[in-house]
Amino acid sequence: MTLRELLKALNAVDEKFLDMEVMVSPHTGGYDGISHVSVLYVGHPVIHLAEARPAEPPPGLWESQAGDVPAVSADDLKKVWQVSAELEAKNPGHGAIGNTMYEDVCGPGADVTSAWYRASMLWVLKEMMPDVLASWMHDGQLDDVVFEVAATFPMAKMKTGVVREGPPFDVEGFVKRIGAGK
């Protein structure tokens, strides 16, 4: 997407102004302490464009990216799943939930990061491989056995910079364990 397309899509500028001459300040903004490029439209708001910075990998979820995701209680996992599902139902495709929201619904001392991660892996299966969980989905809800297995099933931590071909766990083994009732 070009800057022109973005501005037009955001209705940030009337289309008749999109092709007018603009003044661009140097990357310092012309003033010490300002580290951005400003595109000025006469008589219109200033548009600030962030200066390009080298990409940094996102921080890991855990102090160590080695090993498996810690097990959680099935009850906490189900509550995290429900909070996320409720947010998605109210705001399809939008929204973010912080750990404090999960901490409020989980038991004392719960590992909400691991519960969120495990719930996210269930979401991946549900959305990307819908047939995998179809037998345990009723009226849009997952059966309790899915949460019971997902709470303890071995799952590798996703590592920054590592591209995977599929989910970070044995999907076939996961389905077999659900089918066996845990």
pLDDT tens by residue, 8-52: 666 555 555 555 554 444 444 444 443 444 343 444 444 555 555
Burial of 147 (0-12, 13-18, 19+ CB in 10 A): buried
Q: What is the pLDDT of residues 106-123, one digit of tens each?
A: 999 999 999 999 999 999
| Separation in Å, CA 16 to CA 19, 21, 22, 47, 115 | 7, 12, 13, 16, 50
- CA atoms within 13 Å, Cβ hemisphere of 127: 10
| Separation in Å, CA 182 to CA 95, 116, 124, 143 | 33, 20, 20, 12
Asked if residue 162 has pLDDT above 70, the reply is yes
- CA atoms within 13 Å, Cβ hemisphere of 175: 13
Higher pLDDT, residue 34 or 90: 90
**Can you give the pTM of this predicted structure?**
0.65
For the chain, which residues make up each domain, given as ranges? 3-50, 74-179
